[in-house]
Structure 1
Amino acid sequence: MKRLQDPRFKVANREALIGIALVLINFAIWFGFAYGLGSKDPAEYSYIFGFPAWFFYSCFAGTIFMIVLIWITIKLFFKNIPFDDGGEEQ
């Protein structure tokens, strides 16, 4: 069976791998702050805007960081590709 050689598949695979990498980065940030700072006794927690520091950094600051990182990644590494074949006229 002949494998398709459409260059769009190469672009889609690269962008999918970038997406997986971003998910892993997001999980590492969340896990690191949540279990790194949150593993202390609750009486020893420090608070930021009324939230425990581990929660603030893992949920709020991590989300803002990921939004910026995804925006930069899309601008630098993703590109528009056409969905149509271009060979068929309608």
Structure 2
Amino acid sequence: MEDKRFKIAHREALMGVALVLLNFAIWYGFAYGLGNKDPKTYTYILGFPAWFFYSCIAGTIFMIVLIIMVLKFFFTEVSLDEEDEECTGK
């Protein structure tokens, strides 16, 4: 019987990759979507250009909150001991 810890680790690794891709999409979308204009037309938020504020500051805060929620609700605590019968299915 396959160790359930591998299935859990695989699922959590895929969630991690999805979070990285989401973070890149948010950063790239705001940085190049709003920042691909003439600098004379930029709008500013708290003294930062809007593209920088949304991609680097707000995006980072959003990702930190999202990662905390994913860790709290979707990741599972597993024992790394080989003798743990519940995880190994013995």
Do both proteins adopt the same fold according to a TM-score greater than 0.5, normalized to the shorter chain? yes
Structure 1 segments of 4+ aligned residues over 6 angstroms from their partners: none
Q: What residue number does 1:19 align with?
A: 16
Aligned partner of residue 25 in structure 1, secondary structure: helix
| TM-score normalised over the length of structure 2 | 0.90
Paired AA for residue 7 in structure 2: K
Match of 1:79 among 57, 72, 76: 76
The number of aligned residues is 84
Q: Tell me what 2:88 maps to.
A: none
Q: Structure 2 regions of 5+ residues with no counterpart?
A: 85-90
Residue 75 of structure 1 deviates from its aligned partner by: 1.0
Alignment correspondent of 2:29? 32
TM-score scaled by length of structure 1: 0.90
Cα offset for 1:60? 0.3
| Greater RCO (Cα-Cα under 8 Å, separation 6 or more) | 2
Tell me how large the CA RMSD over aligned residues is.
1.1
Corresponding position: 1:8 with 2:5: yes
In structure 1, distance between residues paired with 2:82 and 2:75: 20
Identity %: 67
Shift in Å at residue 76 of structure 1? Answer: 1.1
Once the two structures are TM-superposed, the CA of residue 31 in structure 1 deviates from its matched residue by: 0.4
